[in-house]
Every structure is written in C-alpha cells, then in structure tokens.
Amino acid sequence: MAERAISLISRGLLLMSALALALMMAILTWQVFSRYLLGDSPAWAEQAALILMIWMTFLGSASGIADGFHIRIVEGVTSLPQPWRSRAVKVANLLIILAGIMILILGSELVGATWTNAVPTLPVTRGMVYLVIPFSGALMAAFALQRLLRGEEIVGSAGSA
C-alpha cells in the first residue's frame, strides 16, 4: 500500500515538473518572440521562468529519489561483494535522509527569511517561491527512509549487463 502511494506521489511530482518545464519553455519562447519580432519583451517572463525552473528542479529531484534515479555510483556499488553492497546502499539512503532533513530545515529558514521579499514583476514573494524547497526536502527524506526500510537493492546500468 505504501509503495503504491509513493509511486502515485512520485508520478504526480514528475508530472508537475514536466508541466513546469513545458510552461517555462512556452514563456521563454514568447519572450524571445516578443523581444525580436515585436520589439517589446514582457517584464514578467524572466522571473516566471526562473520560478518554474526552481519548482521543476526540486519536484523532479524528489521524484528521482522516490524512483531511485538519484545520483550515485552504480557500477562501484554493484561491483562490491555482499554484504558490502547492501551496506553501501544503506549508507547512501541514510545520507539522502540526512540531506533531505537539512534541505527541509535550511529551506524552511530561507522561506521565513524571504517571506516578505517581493518578486519583481510578479504578485508573489520569494518566500512563496521557495516553499518548494522544504517541501521537497521532506519528501526526499521520506522516500529515502521508505527505500531504507524496504531494503532496497540496486542493479547495474544497462551498459553493464
């Protein structure tokens, strides 16, 4: 049941990240079109694209942790004999949990410190923009904890088969 819920959450995060990427590309395309063909670039476009990039990155990263697509040296781990392989995976998941907790705590501090800072040309504050940081940190830690408790094993890359 928990795996199904995590899978659904991960797919939702990935979908939101993909939508943010598509919207960002549409905004940047409009900005270039407006600047070079209409001679008047919209003032809001750069800030909106930047916000979408922040959200896309953090949501996609959390989804990657849930699906096991985070950065790690797969070939080095798969070449280890058991039980060292299992220990290496456990250490990696513990480090991801620690990093997620740090992102949650420091991201919350960033949100608090920037809550009233206005974003030029948009009706939001920097704190609102940065809400995704502690949110994704909490999700990363939760996803890595679930992988740790499940006893995740990894396999080599497609090229190592």
* Whole-structure pTM value: 0.84
**Do the domain assignments include residue 161?**
no
How many CA atoms does the CB half-sphere of 108 hold within 13 Å? 8
Residues of the chain with pLDDT under 50: 156-161
pLDDT of res. 72 = 63
Residue 70 covered by a domain: yes
Contact 52, 24 (CB under 8 A): yes
56 lies in a domain? Answer: yes
Tell whether 11 is covered by a domain: yes
Residue 22 lies in a domain: yes
Integer Rg of the chain from CA? 19
Within-domain flag for 50: yes
Residue range(s) defining the domain that contains residue 39: 2-156
42 lies in a domain?
yes
Q: How far apart are CA 88 and CA 96, in angstroms?
A: 12
- pLDDT at residue 111 in the model: 97
Task: Output the pLDDT for position 159.
Answer: 43
64 in a domain, yes or no? yes
Domain count, the chain: 1
Write down the pLDDT at residue 83: 84
